[in-house]
């Protein structure tokens, strides 16, 4: 990977590049998030404008970009962790000091709207980031050890790392459900650079200088939230179709990982299978129901890192 493994005593900077809204946040949950990171031996610090609430529940774009750039300029900071997702991460893209980020490779970690930054950083610099928990996510109690341990494995780059499914899952404070085995939708094997994240966020990069190039083989991880409710399957399908129509996307996609959908999305397994069937992706490995996205717990994937998919008798995902 382009980033260095973290070790005991390293500093992780928490910033809010997308959204911050303290109302409704559980202070005990946030304290647990900090303590859990500290239990791994990391020092946790916070950005200057983390709690600013100037613009749609977050700080000015200039202030969020300042926190972002300072985290990359600070030699003591070894990783950058998003406080949460949201809607506004793409506002800071033109304000990022890209030469600074390129010359100070350190991973940013998060999911949902942080998909913007993960893929833009890879597109602009080639540096690896981690599609994984936001800071708030680490304070939840749904199989939290699974989330924390997988994050730590990636931060320390204990590779190769083979992922396994969780035992129980849920959505924040909802009931727990037994995790079903990951589903093989198309058999095969592939090894390539991983792109993707939240599909509704990823496709916002289309037509910009921040969109990764698809001119080389890649594997993509895609998941969606439940904001579209009963129309989530339709939205997922047409957003995926829009990606497939981008130059070289269909030609070079070598594997697909589909994250677990929230109960509120009403997405059925039969709908996922019909979507994949209509896309005519050919003989590439496809696995669905994977522990990533807007449910808990979650894996940590390296965006810009190399991943191997084995979708044969028993699905396997390995970071190499």
The answer to whether 112 is a known catalytic residue is yes
Residue among 112, 137, 166, 288 flagged as catalytic: 112
Query: In the structure encoding, which two tokens stand for residue 197, read together?
Result: 């994240």
| Coarse DSSP helix, strand, coil percentages of the chain, rounded to the nearest 5 percent | 35, 25, 40
Residue linked to tokens 């100037």: 54
The answer to whether 223 is a known catalytic residue is yes
The answer to whether 158 is a known catalytic residue is no
Residue from 303, 282, 252 nearest 185 by CA: 282
Alpha helix stretches (DSSP H) within the chain = 27-39, 61-73, 98-103, 115-125, 144-155, 199-202, 232-244, 249-252, 269-279
Exposed / middle / buried, residue 264 (Cβ in 10 Å: 0-12, 13-18, 19+): middle
Task: Say which DSSP state 58 is in.
Answer: B
In DSSP terms, 162 is beta-bridged to 318
What is d(CA 210, CA 8) in angstroms, rounded to the nearest whole number? 33
Residue among 66, 166, 265, 294 flagged as catalytic: 294
Residue among 66, 91, 223, 235 flagged as catalytic: 223
Active site residues: 112, 223, 294
């Amino acid at each position: 990977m382009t980033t260095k493994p973290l070790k005991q005593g390293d500093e992780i900077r928490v910033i809010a590049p997308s959204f911050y809204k303290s109302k409704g946040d559980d202070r005990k949950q946030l304290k647990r998030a900090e303590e859990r990171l500290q239990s791994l031996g990391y020092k946790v610090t916070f950005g200057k404008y983390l709690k600013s609430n100037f613009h749609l529940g977050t700080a000015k774009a200039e202030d969020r970009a300042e926190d972002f750039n300072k985290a990359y300029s600070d030699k003591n900071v070894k990783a950058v962790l998003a406080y949460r997702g949201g809607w506004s991460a793409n506002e800071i893209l033109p304000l990022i000091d890209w030469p600074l980020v390129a010359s100070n490779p350190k991973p940013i970690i998060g999911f949902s709207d942080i998909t913007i930054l993960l893929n833009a950083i890879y597109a602009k610099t080639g540096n690896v980031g981690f599609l994984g928990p936001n800071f708030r996510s680490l304070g939840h109690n749904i199989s939290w050890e699974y989330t924390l341990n997988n994050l730590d494995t990636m931060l320390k780059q204990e590779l190769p790392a083979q992922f396994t499914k969780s035992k129980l899952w849920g959505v924040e404070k909802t009931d727990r459900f037994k995790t079903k085995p990951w589903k093989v939708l198309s058999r095969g094997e592939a090894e390539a650079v991983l792109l993707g994240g939240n599909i509704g966020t990823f496709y916002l990069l289309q037509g910009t200088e921040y969109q990764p190039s698809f001119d080389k083989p890649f594997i993509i991880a895609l998941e969606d939230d439940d904001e579209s409710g009963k129309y989530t399957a339709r939205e997922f399908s047409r957003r995926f179709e829009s990606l497939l129509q981008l130059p070289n996307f269909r030609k070079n996609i070598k594997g697909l990982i589909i994250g677990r959908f929230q109960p509120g999305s009403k997405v059925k397994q039969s709908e996922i299978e019909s979507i994949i069937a209509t896309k005519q992706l050919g003989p590439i490995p496809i696995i669905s129901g994977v522990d990533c996205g807007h449910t808990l717990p979650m894996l940590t994937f390296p965006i810009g890192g190399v991943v191997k998919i084995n979708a044969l008798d028993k699905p396997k995902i390995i970071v190499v």
